[in-house]
Structure 1
Amino acid sequence: MDLRTYRARSLQEALRLVRADLGDDAAVLHTREVGAGLMRWFGRTEIEVTASNEVDVPSRLPAASRFEHDVHESIPEPTNGFESAQHSQPTDFADYRLRFRELLQQDDEAGFSEVDAQCSRNAPAPAAKPKLLATIRQQLHLAGVEEATSAAWLAQLQDYLAQFPNATATELEDRLLRHVEAEIPLSGPLQLPAGERRIVALVGPTGVGKTTTVAKLAAQFRLNQQRRVGLITIDTYRIAAVDQLKTYADIMNLPLEVASSPREMAAALAALADCQLVLIDTTGRSPRDAMRIAEQRNLLAIADPDEVHLVLSATSSTACQQLAMRAYASVSPTSLMLTKLDELPQVGCLAGLLRETSLPLSYTTHGQNVPDDIRAADRRMLARSLTGIRTAEVN
């Protein structure tokens, strides 16, 4: 049997196609409105007509003369949906169209496509998207994320939802974690190439934990990796600063040199020539004391360190952290260290700093225990701590 299907924007156009192709004796077997799924979302629907000139049933096509009339004048009305047009009475086209759509709706209910059904099952309720974003906004607020940073992250999620409107809460959290990870620059932990001596200096404001951090790094490389480590301190201004580092050096059996002038710095480096790693502990300076910072820069220039880590306390305000970063830019730091994360009530307050800084993060510290409370910066762990999200998995 020769069955043919025609589609057009209206029933009248579809019937014209049938008549032109199969002739006046063609029988219309089935009609329906298509585009009820994704096409309807874009405002596009068509009329589909299935017809044949080999089926012995009364034709649903109107007489040829009827096709020449205006569509609002007279079009046959099927009394039973499939009766011959010759036995039907003229009716207004709008009434015919209304009844025709009712028939189509019955067809749609009986033959709803699997694709449409799947889309309907997966589609969230209209209020789901704002509710999901509101939940994430609240989570970021509880984590301590500043409003400007939170708004920027939520804008990224809105763009994602525009592309994937059926995204679930877990998928949104996963997307946010990936985005936050991408915004955190990392330098990685200290590396000691074979056969080379590495000189590393720690600089920063007073009270950020530079001396304790030096001891933690020294212990990791000396006790855990069995490397030859030497210490230099130029912190001769703070009371008992030398004694504090000397205590750590004695416990780990490490050489310690004190340098307060360029000549003493050169002598200290010569004395530690056999060490694989030389860690330099510097004097804490106020970010507003440009003269003292310049003196420190000149002294470090003699050491010519391979790495200079700017140490900042996580408990300081964002304004103080940014002030210190500007002040110590003249020392040419290569990496950033954040200390005292264990003292933060909300880690999310660091999000703004990490998004804006150009310095890659090397280490974070989480307590006073030497050498345990220090770890190489980890993007996944930081992203979870910053956002307060614990459930999603980021691969």
Structure 2
Amino acid sequence: MKVKKYKAENMQQAMQLVRLELGDDAVILNSKAVKTSKFFGLLSKKGVEVIAAVDEEPSTPIMKTKNANMRPESRIQDSKERISSPTSKVEQDKLFDSIQEMKKMMKSLTKEKQRDPLLPDYFIHLEEKLSKTDINPLQVEAMMDRLYEKWLENRTLPYKSMLELVEAEVLQSLEEVSFDHNPYKKKFICLVGPTGVGKTTTLAKLAANASLKKGKSIGFITTDTYRIAAIEQLKTYASILEAPIEVCYSAEDFLAAKNKLSHLDVVFIDTAGRNFLNERFVEELKEVLNFKEEMTTFLVLSLTSKLSDMKKITDQFWNVGIHQFIFTKKDETTSVSSMYEISRTYKKGAAFVTDGQNVPEDLIPFTKELMVRSIMEEIQE
């Protein structure tokens, strides 16, 4: 593996130097604009610096003089000797490791490093900001490639125009994702999700909204019998809203509670927050609740969670029949791109986002446009 650095006045000259020494099989690893100085730094001019590599013997450079001056039969014999002399195992391993390492390095290089060195700084800045979000890296790369092609058309593309193009692409990527923030189409509304995401408070916000703003008759069912505090909290909300509440310890209790509250417009169901990374807890929940009934089920996820954990939780609940997501704790983080990635990946929108503890105020009916706006705000912070 041969790696060399070249400096030239422009990219065309640099490429000529690379081809001349390394041949047509050479690969450009990096290129950037530099300043070259003369006369002890008193004079300087712009140029380019290119790093290139080649895996094998250059295909175009001229043969070495020593070999060229040999008689034909001598060159043949010399070639036979080189072919018949096997490289040692250690040397082969070193060569293999070197090639593998170089391939890894080349694969990890961003597109930016292979692009025109005269790209504006704000292009690189935008790419860096996008790469720090939870948006799929392949999607980020594809977006930046399209922006680069757009910039190449006339070597100019204002930062504002770049942001507008990114915004349009993010919105288009949600084309197949449905956002419906009217959860009151079915009689039963159930919230599921891991512990600590704020399900009970969110349920109270939904119930207060239905009762106070929509004028619906409401009731509560809770299966969260693992925490006394959770039951008491929901009982407090039920008392404030003058709504009946039923506590269920088994599937029989749940069926009886449903029948008892069937005369109401909407019944809100609270569930226990468990470590749902363990599939057993999901199965236990399914034993108590019949998700095939007239029920809308929301998976509640906290935006303070890691994207990888959010995906694992979603995978565990997928067979339950998730209608949409509710994302909580937006006010506790500046990174909200995880909700975009979850919605885009699973083709399920966010019905609501919560951004505080106030009931029922801190409940935002969400749309594609609001999600895209949140992403753009994160990028521009």
**Same-fold call, TM cutoff 0.5:** yes
Equivalent in the alignment of 1:209: 198
- Counterparts in 2 of 1:165 and 1:357: CA distance versus 1, 3 Å: farther
Q: Secondary structure at the match of 2:165?
A: helix
- Counterparts in 2 of 1:175 and 1:209: CA distance versus 1, 3 Å: same
Where does structure 1 lack aligned partners over 5 or more consecutive residues?
A: 1-125
Where does structure 2 lack aligned partners over 5 or more consecutive residues?
A: 1-115
Shift of 1:312: 0.8
RMSD (Å), alpha carbons: 2.7
- Counterparts in 2 of 1:279 and 1:163: CA distance versus 1, 3 Å: farther
Alignment of 1:299-314 (within 5 A): 299-301=288-290, 304-314=293-303
Q: Following the alignment from structure 2 to structure 1, what is the Cα–Cα distance between the partners of residues 378 and 303?
A: 20
Equivalent in the alignment of 2:234: 245
Work out which of the residue numbers 190, 200, 204 in structure 1 matches 2:189.
Answer: 200
Contact 2:336 2:378 in 1 (8 A): no
Amino acid at match of 2:209: Q
- Which whole-Å deviations, capped at 9, do the CAs of 1:133-189 have from their partners, x for residues lacking one? 223224435767675553343234335546786543322211211211233434311
Q: Following the alignment from structure 2 to structure 1, what is the Cα–Cα distance between the partners of residues 149 and 205?
A: 43
- Counterparts in 2 of 1:364 and 1:152: CA distance versus 1, 3 Å: farther
Q: Following the alignment from structure 2 to structure 1, what is the Cα–Cα distance between the partners of residues 238 and 352?
A: 21
Equivalent in the alignment of 2:180: 188
Q: Following the alignment from structure 2 to structure 1, what is the Cα–Cα distance between the partners of residues 147 and 200?
A: 42
Contact 1:186 1:377 in 2 (8 A): no
Q: Following the alignment from structure 1 to structure 2, what is the Cα–Cα distance between the partners of residues 164 and 278?
A: 60
Q: Percent identity?
A: 29
Equivalent in the alignment of 1:157: 147
Equivalent in the alignment of 1:133: 123
- Which whole-Å deviations, capped at 9, do the CAs of 1:236-294 have from their partners, x for residues lacking one? 11231111100011111111111222221121111212211111111112123322211
- Which whole-Å deviations, capped at 9, do the CAs of 1:356-390 have from their partners, x for residues lacking one? 23322211111111101111113223222223379
Q: Following the alignment from structure 2 to structure 1, what is the Cα–Cα distance between the partners of residues 378 and 299?
A: 28
Contact 1:232 1:257 in 2 (8 A): yes
Shift of 1:132: 4.4
Q: What is the number of residues matched between the two proteins?
A: 263
Once structures 1 and 2 are overlaid, which stretch shifts more, 258-267 or 334-343? 258-267
Work out which of the residue numbers 312, 329, 348 in structure 2 matches 1:323.
Answer: 312
- Counterparts in 2 of 1:133 and 1:312: CA distance versus 1, 3 Å: same
Work out which of the residue numbers 358, 371, 379 in structure 2 matches 1:382.
Answer: 371
Q: Following the alignment from structure 2 to structure 1, what is the Cα–Cα distance between the partners of residues 149 and 258?
A: 54
- Which whole-Å deviations, capped at 9, do the CAs of 1:201-242 have from their partners, x for residues lacking one? 111111111111100000111111211111111111123111
- Counterparts in 2 of 1:192 and 1:317: CA distance versus 1, 3 Å: closer
Equivalent in the alignment of 2:332: 343
Contact 1:335 1:359 in 2 (8 A): yes
Alignment of 1:61-80 (within 5 A): none
Q: Following the alignment from structure 1 to structure 2, what is the Cα–Cα distance between the partners of residues 381 and 246?
A: 33
1:177 aligns with 2:167: yes
Alignment of 1:45-60 (within 5 A): none
Q: Following the alignment from structure 1 to structure 2, what is the Cα–Cα distance between the partners of residues 188 and 390?
A: 26
Contact 1:349 1:386 in 2 (8 A): no
Q: Following the alignment from structure 1 to structure 2, what is the Cα–Cα distance between the partners of residues 367 and 389?
A: 19
Equivalent in the alignment of 1:367: 356
- Counterparts in 2 of 1:348 and 1:187: CA distance versus 1, 3 Å: closer
- Counterparts in 2 of 1:291 and 1:142: CA distance versus 1, 3 Å: closer
Equivalent in the alignment of 1:105: none
Q: Following the alignment from structure 1 to structure 2, what is the Cα–Cα distance between the partners of residues 215 and 345?
A: 25
Once structures 1 and 2 are overlaid, which stretch shifts more, 155-164 or 311-320? 155-164
Q: Secondary structure at the match of 2:290?
A: helix
Amino acid at match of 2:172: A
Contact 1:384 1:390 in 2 (8 A): no
Contact 1:200 1:277 in 2 (8 A): yes
Amino acid at match of 2:181: P
Equivalent in the alignment of 1:279: 268
Amino acid at match of 1:266: L
Q: Secondary structure at the match of 1:301?
A: coil
Alignment of 1:18-33 (within 5 A): none
Q: Following the alignment from structure 2 to structure 1, what is the Cα–Cα distance between the partners of residues 314 and 285?
A: 15
Q: Following the alignment from structure 1 to structure 2, what is the Cα–Cα distance between the partners of residues 269 and 367?
A: 31
Q: Following the alignment from structure 2 to structure 1, what is the Cα–Cα distance between the partners of residues 167 and 350?
A: 18
- Which whole-Å deviations, capped at 9, do the CAs of 1:84-130 have from their partners, x for residues lacking one? xxxxxxxxxxxxxxxxxxxxxxxxxxxxxxxxxxxxxxxxxx97755
Once structures 1 and 2 are overlaid, which stretch shifts more, 249-258 or 355-364? 355-364
Q: Following the alignment from structure 2 to structure 1, what is the Cα–Cα distance between the partners of residues 308 and 291?
A: 32
Greater Rg over alpha carbons, structure: 1
Work out which of the residue numbers 282, 293, 300 in structure 2 matches 1:293.
Answer: 282
Contact 2:340 2:371 in 1 (8 A): no
TM-score for both structures, normalised by structure 1: 0.60
TM-score for both structures, normalised by structure 2: 0.62
